[in-house]
Amino acid sequence: MAALTLPAQAQQSEPAPERDYTRGWYIGAQGALSMGEGDFSSFGADKFRAGGNGGVFGGYRFNKVWSLELNARWGQLNMAEQDCCFERGYWLGADYNRYHPALIPADMDGWYYKDLMSRTFVQQYSLQANMNVLGFFNATKDSRWMVELSPAVSAVGASADLLTKAGKNPVRENISQWHLGVGGALQVSYAATKNLNVGVYGDFTHLFGAPLDGMPELHSTNFMIDAGVRVSWNFGSKKKAKKSSAAVVAPVVAAAAVVADTVAEESVQEQKPIEEKEVVVVERPVVESAVAEEKPAEEETIVEEEHPVTEAVEEKSAFPVIYFSFNSIWIEPSERAKVKEIADMMKTDKSIRVRVTGWGDNVGTEQQNKRVSLQRAEAVKRVLGQWLIPAERVETVGAGIKHDAQSREEARSAAIIEITE
């Protein structure tokens, strides 16, 4: 029988590699309501004029806190005169200079600022670093939520058309220029799955250079504001196998030894004299009689010693078992519901203290499984903390390999029992 376990052991030593979604490449798309201000503003004297943009982005996440991202977006800004320009009655001459009403040339065509608007097409290419502030705290670093602060530097191209408000007649077209932009964003996102993130963001970009609206410079303000939504797909990265070559060879060597012992044992059994079997048959009634007399006592002793222990464990194990994927400490949504159930029970009875025991499967060394099993127990404790269960009411233990499990899936778990002492 031992020899038949060789293929299974060899196969178990080479599981399919899983992915780590706390690091790796990601891509996404975004769309936003956009506003701007130069000499003209989206917050005009007569009304608010919204613009819009859309774009794509991609980046690499290094850990639960930091990621680096490239961002490209294209859109349009709509702006008109501000309150100050309206009140002062500024006039734009055909020579593209600004005039005060008292100094308007009599022989020059032009337009009052209040009759004009700017429609500016914008392309923006940014490099930004994202810092997830929730990743700095033990209670929130495994949360599905991320709150990111994202400083950025940008190259911004603007092409402005000046139009009349009334008929949208062109006054001047394709006033193009490039700007250096600096700013940042605040992003809040949620991991709907391991791969899919959805979120909202707002960002601000200050522009250096001439006004992006194409008007003669009057104000020192020159900026853009976006508020929108974004969706990203996280590819993750392959988890590196931590098994050494010795760990892979060891099961094969051990199995070979079992095969050798089995062959030797069968050889010895074939060489046993027939008379030894006859002696056993002759003495068997005596042995069975002795056993028959002693067996009830032995069975009673076993039942009395083990059965109460089993019942005690069952009384303490009133909580569901949390299961994990291979080589993972991530708590799946279905398993998080179990943790929520445990948290509700502990909130109802504030005297309950629990011990979380993490387990691992038989893949890898005992030391590796000790570490992973403790991390699984700590992950359950952190999620309980997110449901406002104080840390002092939760103990954690990393028990290593669960040898009595029926399968590897059953072994990768965290068991919770109430501490009654």
At the second CATH level, the architecture of 316-421 is 2-Layer Sandwich (3.30)
- pLDDT, residue 327, reads 84
* Element spanning 234, H or E: strand 223-238
Do the beta carbons of residue 184 and residue 146 sit within 8 Å? no
Q: What angle do CA 356, 357, 361 make, to 5 degrees?
A: 140
Neighbouring-strand partners of residue 236 = 25
Measured distance CA(395)–CA(355) in Å, rounded: 5
- pLDDT, residue 17, reads 57
Report the pLDDT averaged over residues 258-264: 47
Which SS3 state, helix, strand or coil, does residue 56 take? strand
- pLDDT, residue 107, reads 82
Q: Which residues, in sequence order, are CB contacts of 405 under 8 Å at separation 6+? A: 359, 361, 411, 413
Most confident of 77-91, 154-168, 262-276, 287-301: 154-168
Q: Specify the length of the chain in residues.
A: 421
Measured distance CA(417)–CA(405) in Å, rounded: 18
| Tokens 């504001």 sit on residue | 225
Give the residue from 38, 34, 59, 54 showing the smallest Cα distance to 202: 34
pLDDT at 117 over 90: yes
Task: Calculate Rg over the CA atoms of the chain.
Answer: 36
pLDDT at 152 over 90: yes
Across 11-25, 53-67, 205-219, 237-251, least confident range:
237-251
Do the beta carbons of residue 400 and residue 370 sit within 8 Å? yes
- pLDDT, residue 251, reads 52
Q: Give the single-character DSSP code of 122.
A: E
Q: Give the model's confidence band at 90: pLDDT under 50 very low, under 70 low, under 90 confident, else very high.
A: confident
- pLDDT, residue 238, reads 81
Do the beta carbons of residue 182 and residue 205 sit within 8 Å? yes
Sheet holding 394-401, edge to edge: 322-323, 413-418, 354-360, 394-401
Do the beta carbons of residue 372 and residue 325 sit within 8 Å? no
Across 57-66, 164-173, 315-324, least confident range:
315-324
Domains 19-236 and 316-421 are alike in CATH topology: no
* Phi/psi of residue 371, nearest 5 degrees: -65, -50
Q: What angle do CA 300, 304, 307 make, to 5 degrees?
A: 120
Which tens digits make up the pLDDT trace of 290-336? 333 444 444 444 343 443 333 333 344 679 999 999 888 989 888 99
Give the count of beta carbons closer than 10 Å to the beta carbon of residue 382.
Answer: 22
Measured distance CA(375)–CA(358) in Å, rounded: 8
Do the beta carbons of residue 356 and residue 381 sit within 8 Å? yes
Q: Give the single-character DSSP code of 319.
A: S
Most confident of 12-21, 80-89, 172-181, 286-295: 172-181
Read off the pTM: 0.56
Overall CATH class of domain 19-236: mainly beta
Measured distance CA(270)–CA(52) in Å, rounded: 88
Where in the chain are the domains?
19-236, 316-421
Q: Which residue has the higher pLDDT, 90 or 201?
A: 201
Exposed, middle or buried, 139 (CB in 10 Å: 0-12/13-18/19+)?
middle
Q: Which residues, in sequence order, are CB contacts of 220 under 8 Å at separation 6+? A: none
Beta strands in 302-412 (DSSP E): 322-323, 354-360, 394-401
Give the count of beta carbons closer than 10 Å to the beta carbon of residue 303.
Answer: 10
Measured distance CA(29)–CA(285) in Å, rounded: 83
pLDDT at 153 over 90: yes
